[in-house]
């Protein structure tokens, strides 16, 4: 072991901060404005490895974050809640709260009991049904598309690449709208587990800063970006009542990191000349793709901050994290504040799912869950699938149930064809129940999570009953006996068990399935010739019949 390696080992063994870490902490506390000042111009402390790529400075990226989104939506739906401390709950946790509640000490993911103790007058709203939040999120995304290419990060976060709109502005901006992040600004993490959620001292009302005569073209483009961000936030507020915070920078990484510095309802811009010093102070966890496992591996080679990560070569980083050279180059570039990844629209989701978790629901020998649980999940899934189908003109082909039990902590997945649209919630619930029986088997189990998902979407393809492929068929007018037969079948069986299948869907099914339906139910006589699909077998396949699956 060399003397340098020995010194490094002793420093880590005795928890002594490295010079680079001390310098980064100095920047974080605002003690100086540059790395050189932190280390007294001793460059030997910082044997940095230059990045292998350069930053594309022609882009202007916005990171738009809707403030306390769930609570804001609840206030919009019920204006009487404005001004009151409000928290939105899921299960036993307050998942978010408005700023009146936060001033009283109510934090994210705080238990309801603790939140009520801190704020006795706290108003609670259940946020387990996400439908209304998705609707407001879709409205916000539609507004932002008018300002550039939009990439959705979640229901309340979006990237917007407004570079083209900036280029189309004929007059240069003389001011930066909002806040300009100054060197040595005092920053803190909003929560201990998310160091990328940075907050600073609130500057008050939105201000403007003069660009200056000697400003570069990049700075003038960013100034135009601040004007666009202010316009986008104003449209969100005027059109839908939504308040948003925004970060403006030349890339996605920096825009996200500074987006919340002056929350709420404000915006911040970071100039490229200050980006390297800004990110040097931050832990490596702020880089996209660095989770707990990667962070621990980087710490093992002495990289806790982005500044320390710069001192390693891409080969050393790849060897430490066990990943590709491409990923190592990305991490090393991000440590310098360089991120050339594009803003990519997500498009329609590949999976539409709903889930619920529990402290534990006991199942013994295949006994099904209380009907309300699977029924509620199935109803929410069908509503979302119908909405997705109407918007994107597609239908799912696969239904997947994911279950987690207390005995087996890992999740298990089981799939089947997605039921016919005609079956509705009942068909989806029955199919999910069959998958649940496969998941837990005949042994006793305690379920702690259930997820039901629709996937394998096919654009423009009609759904066949029970997932069977449709056949080409002749079109026929609706049967005049549909209502009469439905009434006859309703008299035979309890209403809760009835599910109607349209005659055209029945004709699309293979002949053997039509025969199975006919054997399972006594069909009323129909004064009509057999259809072509049933002709020659003496079976009538006209009219509507009680769902075959409802009897299973």
The residues assigned a catalytic role are: 157
Work out the burial of residue 506: count CB atoms within 10 Å of its CB; fewer than 13 is exposed, 13-18 middle, 19 or more buried: buried
- Residue 369's CB: how many other CB atoms inside 10 A? 18
User: Residue 187 is encoded by which pair of tokens?
Assistant: 């920053």
DSSP string, 513-542: HHHHHHHHS-PPP-SSPPPTTTTTTT----
Please state, in angstroms and as integers, the Cα–Cα distance from residue 175 to each residue in 171, 183, 184, 213, 508, following that order.
12, 19, 22, 11, 65
Helix axes 69-77, 131-144, angle to 10 degrees: 100
Helix axes 292-300, 314-321, angle to 10 degrees: 120
Please report how many Cα atoms fall inside a 13 Å half-sphere around the Cα of residue 134, on the Cβ side.
12
Peptide bond into 534 cis (omega under 30): no
Q: List, in order, residues 6 or more apart from 46 with CB less than 8 Å away.
A: 20, 23, 35, 39, 307, 310, 311
The whole-angstrom separation of Cα 72 and Cα 240 is 11
Sign of CA dihedral 43, 45, 50, 56: negative
Decide if 260 contacts 65 (C-beta within 8 A). Answer: yes
The whole-angstrom separation of Cα 363 and Cα 433 is 12
Q: Are strands 394-395 and 458-459 parallel, antiparallel or unpaired?
A: antiparallel
Q: Hey, which bits of 147-304 come out as E strands?
A: 149-152, 157-161, 175-177, 179-180, 187-191, 194-200, 208-210, 244-249, 267-269
Query: Which ranges constitute the DSSP H helices of 291-422?
Result: 292-300, 306-309, 314-321, 325-335, 371-392
């Amino acid at each position: 072991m060399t003397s340098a390696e020995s010194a490094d080992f002793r420093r880590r063994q005795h928890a002594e901060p490295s010079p680079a870490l001390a310098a980064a902490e100095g920047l974080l506390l605002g003690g100086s404005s540059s790395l050189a000042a932190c280390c007294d111009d001793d460059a030997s402390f910082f044997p940095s490895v230059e990045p292998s790529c350069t930053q594309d400075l022609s882009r202007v990226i916005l990171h738009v974050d809707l403030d306390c989104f769930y609570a804001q939506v609840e206030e919009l739906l019920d204006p009487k809640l404005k001004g009151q401390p409000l928290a939105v709950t899921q299960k036993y946790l307050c998942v978010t709260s408005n700023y009146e509640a936060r001033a009283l000490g109510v934090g994210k993911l705080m238990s309801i009991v603790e939140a009520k103790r801190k704020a006795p007058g706290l108003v609670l709203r259940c946020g387990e049904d996400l439908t209304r939040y998705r609707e407001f999120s879709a409205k916000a995304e539609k507004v932002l598309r008018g300002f550039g290419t939009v990439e959705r990060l979640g229901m309340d976060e979006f990237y917007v690449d407004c570079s083209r709109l900036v280029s189309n502005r004929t007059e240069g901006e003389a001011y930066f709208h909002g806040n300009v992040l100054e060197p040595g600004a005092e920053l803190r993490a909003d929560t201990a587990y998310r160091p990328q959620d940075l907050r600073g001292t609130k500057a008050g009302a939105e201000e403007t800063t003069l660009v200056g005569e000697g400003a570069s073209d990049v700075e003038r483009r960013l100034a135009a970006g601040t004007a666009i961000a202010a316009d986008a936030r104003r449209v969100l507020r005027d059109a839908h009542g939504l308040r948003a915070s925004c970060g403006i920078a030349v890339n996605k990484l920096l825009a996200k990191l500074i987006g919340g510095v002056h929350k709420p309802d404000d915006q911040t811009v970071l100039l490229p000349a200050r980006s390297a010093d800004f990110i040097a102070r931050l832990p490596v966890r702020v880089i996209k793709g660095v989770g707990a496992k990667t962070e621990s591996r980087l710490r093992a080679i002495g990289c806790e901050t982005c500044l320390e990560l710069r001192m390693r070569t891409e080969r050393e980083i790849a060897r430490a994290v066990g990943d590709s050279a491409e990923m190592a180059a990305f991490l090393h570039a991000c440590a310098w504040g360089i991120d050339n990844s594009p803003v990519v629209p997500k498009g329609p989701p590949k999976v539409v799912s709903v889930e619920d978790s529990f402290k534990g629901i006991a199942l013994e020998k295949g006994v099904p869950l209380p009907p309300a649980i699977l029924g509620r999940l199935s109803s929410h899934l069908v509503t979302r699938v119908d909405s997705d189908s109407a918007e994107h003109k597609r239908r799912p082909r696969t239904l997947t149930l994911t279950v987690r039990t207390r005995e087996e902590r890992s999740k298990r997945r089981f799939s089947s064809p997605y039921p016919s649209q005609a079956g509705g919630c009942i068909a989806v619930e029955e199919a999910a129940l069959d998958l649940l029986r496969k998941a837990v088997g005949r042994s006793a189990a305690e379920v702690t999570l259930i997820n039901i998902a629709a996937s394998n979407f096919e654009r423009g393809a009609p759904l066949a009953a029970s997932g069977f492929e449709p056949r080409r068929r002749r079109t026929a007018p609706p049967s005049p006996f549909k209502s009469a037969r439905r009434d006859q079948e309703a008299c035979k069986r309890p209403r809760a068990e009835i599910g109607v299948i349209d005659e055209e869907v029945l004709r699309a099914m293979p002949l053997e399935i039509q025969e199975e339906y006919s054997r399972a139910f006594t069909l009323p006589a129909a004064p009509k010739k057999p259809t072509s699909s049933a002709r020659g077998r003496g079976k009538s396949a006209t009219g509507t019949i009680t769902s075959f699956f409802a009897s299973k």
